């Protein structure tokens, strides 16, 4: 802040000249001079960030009609209390604080002869309307989604949890962006240790800018190199509210519609908020499907490779004859075939998620015909392998949260299966399970609440128990059991 001293001057013109010099090419900074009785005042605001109607009606108009007190030391107080009709006002003499307020969308009122300026809350910028997030669509249930504005997200949360125990703690992250962030929790339900840990980790963040909650996610998570998420993210306020009720803490970041929830354990990868909005039978079936889909997507390709390279005796004779004939003329080994097809599938998936929808139809036909039909007909890949990889890819999309795990685990297990057959696959699964079992998310073990891992907590894991059967609050993190672990 080379151009600005620590405090403002009492001469209004001097302050305004200083600002004009600093923002001289910036046409969005507006200066409006007016007289309030005998005092010369100037209101400074940034066009596009402020609600101009508020400034006109409740700042300029009453001020222009009022006559301020003659004594300079009382002038500003009079302006603040009796003239300006705004709910949020404060007096400030520090240039840094004033400029901060200006860039956030507040208006500054400089009054000649006053050693302080008035900050009037007048934020009024364009914001996206509330809509259902694309990545978390439900067929039945609330369709609100979080937006980029922190305050409106907080308002949505408050509407869902109308309790005075819902607490918010504000702080800033990012040296340059000074992004407003907020930790939310329900007092008495949330685990104190998790909260303390969260505050401490957030406090340790040193970064120049935070543009999205993912910046925060990566900086506060443990096990940075693990493909399993241990910090949850969501764009839906109902999910955030549900997690708060379960005893978790959430963090909202201004400018990002994605909220962070901690702790995040493995079973949450398989849960969806829709499970609570449909009958528990259907919810149970869906959950089991997700689990089975995850296991299948990770296992089917390695098991197939193990069987066709090492354990031919496990296949029925006719199937082996069919596979053997299908592979005639294929120049690649089974391992290479699998990896090439996996790569092709991932490329198509990634391309599919980025391209405009008009091209979607054409490209999917191209993908199916070219890769599928022509490659098999030309004996570049064998039909059984193509079927296996396609099935593996499709089942992997059942739980989108586990996408990164599936890709990494699938490739790793394919390599292990190629090395030592089924034994390699089994050992690879043990390594994966050991990695998962050793991880913790903010102190809670990742495999908490998986049935048998901890007896008695099966009510909301692979199936969803009916609400009247769930234990107190149907919540598992809150209270004694896990808090003390």
Rg of the Cα trace of the chain? 30
Q: Taking CB under 8 A as the rule, does residue 427 contact other proteins?
A: yes
Q: How far is the CB of 424 from other proteins (least distance, A)?
A: 7
Integer Cα distance of 376 and 378 in angstroms: 5
Out of 160, 178, 440, 471, the only residue in the binding site for other proteins (CB under 8 A) is 440
Q: Is the peptide bond before 135 cis (omega within 30 degrees of 0)?
A: no
The number of angstroms, rounded, from the C-alpha of 145 to the middle of its chain's C-alpha atoms is 12
Integer Cα distance of 262 and 264 in angstroms: 5
- The first and second tokens of residue 317, run together, are 């004779």
Q: Taking CB under 8 A as the rule, does residue 437 contact other proteins?
A: yes
Q: How far is the CB of 403 from other proteins (least distance, A)?
A: 22
Q: Taking CB under 8 A as the rule, does residue 445 contact other proteins?
A: yes
Q: Taking CB under 8 A as the rule, does residue 463 contact other proteins?
A: no
Closer residue to other proteins, CB minimum distance, 64 or 426 = 426
Stretch that binds other proteins, among 136-144, 267-275, 364-372, 415-423 (CB under 8 A): 415-423
Please give the biggest Cα pair distance in the chain.
Answer: 104
Closer residue to other proteins, CB minimum distance, 248 or 327 = 327
Q: Taking CB under 8 A as the rule, does residue 421 contact other proteins?
A: yes
Residue listed under structure tokens 């089975």: 292
H helix or E strand, kind and range, residue 153:
helix 150-160
Stretch that binds other proteins, among 70-78, 154-162, 237-245, 413-421 (CB under 8 A): 413-421
Rounded-to-10 torsion of CA 80, 86, 90, 93:
-70
Q: Taking CB under 8 A as the rule, does residue 443 contact other proteins?
A: yes
Q: How far is the CB of 448 from other proteins (least distance, A)?
A: 9
What are the residues whose beta carbons fall under 8 Å from the beta carbon of 6, sequence distance 6 or more?
Answer: 94, 95, 96
Q: How many residues bind other proteins (CB under 8 A)?
A: 50
Integer Cα distance of 44 and 40 in angstroms: 13
Taking residue 230's Cβ as centre, other Cβ atoms within 10 Å add up to 23
Helices and strands counted in the chain (H then E): 17, 12
Q: Taking CB under 8 A as the rule, does residue 430 contact other proteins?
A: yes
Taking a C-beta distance cutoff of 8 angstroms, is the pair 222, 197 a contact? no
Site for other proteins in 298-357 (CB under 8 A): 308-318, 320-328, 330, 333-334
Closer residue to other proteins, CB minimum distance, 229 or 310 = 310
Q: Taking CB under 8 A as the rule, does residue 438 contact other proteins?
A: yes
Q: Taking CB under 8 A as the rule, does residue 383 contact other proteins?
A: yes
Out of 5, 366, 433, 469, the only residue in the binding site for other proteins (CB under 8 A) is 433
Interface with other proteins by CB under 8 A: which residues? 308-318, 320-328, 330, 333-334, 383, 415-416, 418-424, 426-427, 430-431, 433-434, 437-438, 440, 443, 445, 447, 450, 452-453, 455, 485
């Amino acid at each position: 802040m080379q151009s600005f001293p620590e405090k403002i001057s009492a001469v209004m013109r001097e302050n305004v000249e200083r600002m004009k010099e600093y923002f001289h090419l910036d046409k969005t900074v507006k200066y409006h001079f007016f007289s309030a009785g005998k005092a010369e005042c100037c209101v400074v605001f940034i066009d596009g960030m402020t609600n101009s109607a508020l400034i006109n009606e409740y700042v300029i108009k009453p001020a222009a009609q009022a006559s301020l007190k003659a004594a300079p030391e009382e002038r500003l107080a009079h302006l603040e209390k009796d003239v300006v009709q705004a709910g949020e006002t404060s007096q400030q003499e520090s240039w840094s604080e004033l400029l901060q307020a200006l860039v956030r969308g507040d208006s500054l009122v400089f009054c000649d002869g006053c050693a302080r300026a008035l900050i009037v809350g007048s934020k009024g910028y364009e914001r996206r309307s509330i809509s259902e997030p694309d990545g978390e669509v439900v067929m039945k249930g609330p369709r609100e989604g979080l937006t980029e504005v922190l305050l409106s997200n907080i308002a949505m949360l408050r509407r869902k949890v109308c309790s005075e125990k819902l607490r918010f703690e504000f702080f800033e992250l990012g040296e340059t962006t000074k992004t407003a962030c907020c930790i939310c929790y329900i007092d008495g339900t949330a685990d104190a240790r998790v909260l303390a840990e969260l505050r401490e980790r957030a406090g340790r963040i040193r970064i120049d800018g935070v543009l999205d909650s993912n910046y925060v996610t990566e900086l506060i998570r443990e096990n940075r190199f693990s493909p399993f998420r241990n910090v949850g993210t969501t764009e839906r306020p109902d999910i955030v509210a549900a997690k708060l009720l379960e005893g978790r803490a959430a963090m909202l970041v201004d400018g990002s519609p994605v909220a962070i929830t901690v702790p995040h354990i493995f079973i949450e990868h398989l849960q969806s908020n829709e499970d609570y909005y449909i009958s528990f039978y259907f919810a149970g079936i869906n959950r089991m499907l997700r689990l089975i889909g995850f296991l299948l997507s990770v296992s089917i390709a390695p098991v197939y490779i193990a069987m066709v390279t090492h354990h031919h005796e496990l296949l029925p004779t006719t199937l082996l004859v069919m596979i053997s004939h299908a592979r005639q003329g294929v120049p690649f080994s089974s391992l290479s075939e699998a990896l090439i097809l996996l790569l092709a599938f991932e490329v198509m998936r990634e391309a599919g998620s980025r391209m405009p929808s008009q091209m979607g139809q054409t490209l999917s036909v191209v993908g199916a015909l070219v890769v599928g039909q022509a490659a098999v007909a030309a004996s570049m890949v064998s039909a059984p392998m193509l079927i296996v990889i396609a099935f593996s890819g499709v089942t992997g999309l059942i739980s989108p949260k586990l996408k990164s795990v599936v890709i990494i685990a699938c490739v790793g297990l394919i390599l292990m299966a190629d090395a030592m057959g089924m034994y390699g696959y089994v050992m690879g699964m043990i390594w994966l399970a050991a990695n998962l079992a050793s991880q913790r998310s903010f102190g809670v073990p990742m495999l908490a609440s998986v049935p048998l891992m901890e007896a008695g907590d099966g009510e909301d894991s692979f199936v969803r128990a009916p609400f009247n059967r769930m234990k107190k609050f149907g919540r598992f993190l809150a209270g004694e059991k896990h808090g003390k672990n």
